[in-house]
Amino acid sequence: MNRSTIDLWVGIFVAIGFGAILFLALKVGNLLTLDRAPGYHLEASFDNIGGLKLRAPVKAAGVVVGRVEAVRLDPKAYDAVVTMRVDRDYQFSKDTIAAINTSGLLGEVYIGLDAGGDPTMLKDGDRINKTQSAVVIEKLISQFLFEKASETGNAGGAAQAPPKSSGKAVEGAKK
């Protein structure tokens, strides 16, 4: 086995090895689509963010326009403050609604932006005032039962206290 043959094979090996790593990074993983593209930051507060995770998409009309960058708890108001980065190409009005949605029953959780008619646009660092928290299935069910119970109670008698909500939201079945 002379040197040049070995060099050739080692070269091929290293090349396809790096090719595999690149493949994993770009095609399998999402290295370049992590949008290192220029963007601006917006904040929004929610009562409950449900299963929203870091790097979750921010979509408008179903199109990904940004990513969730940070989430923290406001110690005074006890609600969740989400910081998101939006692509510079897209502008949203000041009365945009930010809602936490789930794509399908077990799909991923994302922030949906619903633009309004206000002529003023949100700038870097602005806060979205109108928000809609995640739908918590247990709360829905207990609400429903409570309403039903009130109806029958008003009609017939015994009112039932709404069952305690556990507060756990329906989370995207990603894991």
Partner 1 sequence: MSTEVAAGIAYWLRRLGGAVTGAVGQLGYASRFLLAVLWHTPDAFRRIHLTLREIYFAGVLSLVVILMSGLFVGMVLSLQGYETLKRYGADEQLGYVVALALVRELGPVIAGLLFASRAGSAITAEIGLMKTTEQLAAMEMMAVDPVARVVAPRFWGGVISMPLLAALFSAFGIFGGYIVGVRLIGIDSGAFWGQMHAGVDFWPDVTNGIIKSFAFGAAVSLIAVFEGYDAKPTAEGVASATTRTVVVSSLAILALDFVLTVFMFRGAKLV
Tell the smallest beta-carbon distance from residue 30 to partner 1 (Å).
5
Q: Which of residues 100-159 bind partner 1 (CB under 8 A)?
A: 105-106, 108
CA distance 105 to 102: 7
Q: For partner 1, which is the closer residue by CB, 25 or 77?
A: 25
Q: Judged by CB under 8 A, how many residues of this single chain contact partner 1?
A: 36
Q: For partner 1, which is the closer residue by CB, 11 or 163?
A: 11
Question: For residue 48, what is the enclosing H or E element?
Answer: none
Q: Which of residues 4-63 bind partner 1 (CB under 8 A)?
A: 6-7, 9-10, 12-14, 16-18, 20-21, 23-25, 27-31, 33-34, 49, 52-55
Tell the smallest beta-carbon distance from residue 6 to partner 1 (Å).
5
- Which residues make Cβ contacts (< 8 Å) with residue 148, sequence separation at least 6? none
72 strand-pairing partners: 81
CA distance 165 to 142: 7
Question: For residue 128, what is the enclosing H or E element?
Answer: strand 127-128
Q: Are 2 and 50 in contact (CB under 8 A)?
A: no
Q: Which residues bind partner 1 (CB under 8 A)?
A: 1, 3, 6-7, 9-10, 12-14, 16-18, 20-21, 23-25, 27-31, 33-34, 49, 52-55, 71, 105-106, 108, 173-175
